[in-house]
Structure formats: C-alpha cells, structure tokens
Amino acid sequence: MDIYKLTVFETNGDKILDESFEAKDDNEAKRYGEKRLSELGAMEKTHRCSSPKGKLILFHP
C-alpha cells in the first residue's frame, strides 16, 4: 500500500483539509478522494490528491 495525500483549500488560500491515506493503487486513491470530498461538500473547492511519486490523481483549480 502507498501513502497518498489529499489537500483542500478555501478560495482565500486557507487549507481546510490536509490528510494522508493509504491506497493500493491510483484508482483506489481516486475513489477515496472523491468520497472524502463529497462528504465534506468540497467537490467544487480547490483540491488535489497526489500519489507518493507526485502524480496528480485528482485536481480542481
């Protein structure tokens, strides 16, 4: 399992979420990230989910 990072920002640049989580691959990480964003009501906020190698799995400017 690899460690992925999910970060969400307010429009003023404040971080509202900065968490790490484990996933077996990029697809599982994407599903987890989308679920967490939905739970937080943050799908339309600026966010990113990155892999341990720096690949963007999810991104919304």
Q: Within 13 Å, how many C-alpha atoms sit on residue 19's CB side?
A: 12
Backbone phi and psi for residue 17, each to the nearest 5 degrees, phi listed first: -150, 135
pTM of the model: 0.90
Continuous segment of H or E residues that includes residue 56? strand 56-60
Question: What does the DSSP assignment read for 28-51?
Answer: HHHHHHHHHHHHHT-TTSEEEEE-
> Domain spans of the chain?
2-60
DSSP-derived 3-state class of residue 54: coil
Which amino acid is it at 22?
Answer: E
pLDDT tens for 6-59 read: 999 999 999 999 999 999 999 999 999 999 999 999 999 999 999 999 999 999
